[in-house]
Amino acid sequence: QVQLVQSGPEVKKPGASVKVSCKTSGYIFTRYDISWVRQAPGQGPEWLGWISVSNGDTNYAQGIEGRVTMTTDTSTSTAYMELRSLRFDDTAVYYCTREIRGTYDSWFDPWGQGTLVTVSS
């Protein structure tokens, strides 16, 4: 079955960087794009951006595009999301998710289990 397994929780100081991994299995990695979504405590999800696994193109959300980098390693079917210059309000659970494209639209399925990133001094 399709699985996305993320790396473990991280605790970082303000100003530091964090890199979260998302190892996929159960499907052909290069046929689907990967999006990253975060969810702060008690809040709704926030889309961070998307990477085309087939060609490496990226589309980052406005407001975070200068601090985030999304990459993939096709040899290990793993996606990565790096966030720099961490702030307290970056504390959230970070999810990777596979984007499935229909004829005119798309949706996310499935999601990784989530990685808690805590920014604390």
Partner 1 sequence: QSVLTQPPSASGTPGQRVTISCSGSSSNIGINTVNWYQQLPGTAPKLLIYSDNQRPSGVPDRFSGSRSDTSASLAISGLQSEDEADYYCAAWDDSLNGWVFGGGTKLTVL
**66 is an interface residue for partner 1 by CB under 8 A:** no
Contacts of 98 (CB under 8 A, 6+ apart): 2, 4, 24, 27, 32, 33, 34, 108, 109, 110
Residue 62 token pair: 């406005």
Site track for partner 1 across 21-40, x = CB under 8 A? --------------x-x---
76 binds partner 1 per the rule CB under 8 A: no
Give which of 40, 41, 16, 39 is closest to 97, Cα–Cα. Answer: 39
CA 9, chain centre distance (Å): 14
With CB under 8 A as the contact rule, the residue among 86, 95, 117, 119 that binds partner 1 is: 95
Quick check: 108 binds partner 1 (CB under 8 A)?
yes
Number of residues that bind partner 1 (CB under 8 A): 25
Q: Which residues bind partner 1 (CB under 8 A)?
A: 35, 37, 43-47, 49, 59, 61-62, 95, 100, 102, 104-114
